[in-house]
Amino acid sequence: MDDIVRQAMAKWPHVPHCYGWLALDARGGWYMRDDRVQAAGLFPQVKGSLLKHDKLIDFIQRNYECDDAGQWYFQNGPQRVYVELEATPLVLRVGSDFSVTTHTGRAAQVRHCLVDETGHLYLETDRGLGLVHSLDMALAADAVEAGLWTPQDVSADDLPRRFGFVRSPAMRRPAPAATESTTSPG
């Protein structure tokens, strides 16, 4: 987490959490979801605006973490912005040497390989569970054929419970307190 974020949290410890405004798709893309988009439907059916500003994306990714309830969030200064997930908290890239990196740029060590009923490939890593990026499926298949990874069957619906993450913190959001803001992350 960035030092400036830690300082803001210490200075303003009671800023309300934000729900529904940020989402991560199955290819590692970040989406901003304003009030209009949220009213139009749930993520990923209604995605919102794909973020393209590299410095903003880097800031989000450096400050992307998980709370004790398995809800992933971006710590935006003093405000915790919970993230809606299309698939898993991480999207994994596979290198030509079969190294694995999270969509946030962190190296990850593979512990287990899983495949769901639709053929999506997941890796349980030391960083958490991630979906293998669709562009890297040929490399992942090579790793399986080489005997480096042995896929085990899993139900996609069982992943959140089994690996302790929440796809939609907005759906689990506590009732707003009288002082809680419903405005955009700021």
Write out pLDDT tens, residues 119-171: 999 999 999 999 999 999 999 999 999 999 999 999 999 999 999 999 999 99
Q: Which pTM does this prediction carry?
A: 0.87
Distance, in Å, from the CA atom of 108 to the CA atom of 101, rounded to the nearest integer, reads 5
pLDDT at 5 over 70: no
- Where in the chain are the domains? 3-87+165-172, 90-163
Beta carbons of 101 and 90 less than 8 angstroms apart: no
The model's pLDDT over 135-145, given as tens digits with 9 standing for 90+, comes to 999 999 999 99
Structure tokens at 7: 């300082």
Task: Please give the pLDDT value at position 23.
Answer: 98
Specify whether the backbone of 20 is left (phi greater than 0), alpha (psi in -120 to 50) or beta.
left
User: What band does 78 get if pLDDT is binned at 50, 70 and 90?
Assistant: confident
> Around 172, how many Cα atoms within 13 Å sit in the side-chain half-sphere?
12
Of 124, 110, 183, nearest in space to 158 by CA: 124
User: What band does 184 get if pLDDT is binned at 50, 70 and 90?
Assistant: low
Structure tokens at 58: 């880097």
User: What band does 77 get if pLDDT is binned at 50, 70 and 90?
Assistant: confident
User: What band does 38 get if pLDDT is binned at 50, 70 and 90?
Assistant: very high
CATH topology of domain 3-87+165-172: duf1285 like fold (3.10.540)
**DSSP labels for 105-157?**
S-EE-EEEEEE-TT--EEEEETTEEEEEPGGGHHHHHHHHHTTS--EEE--GG
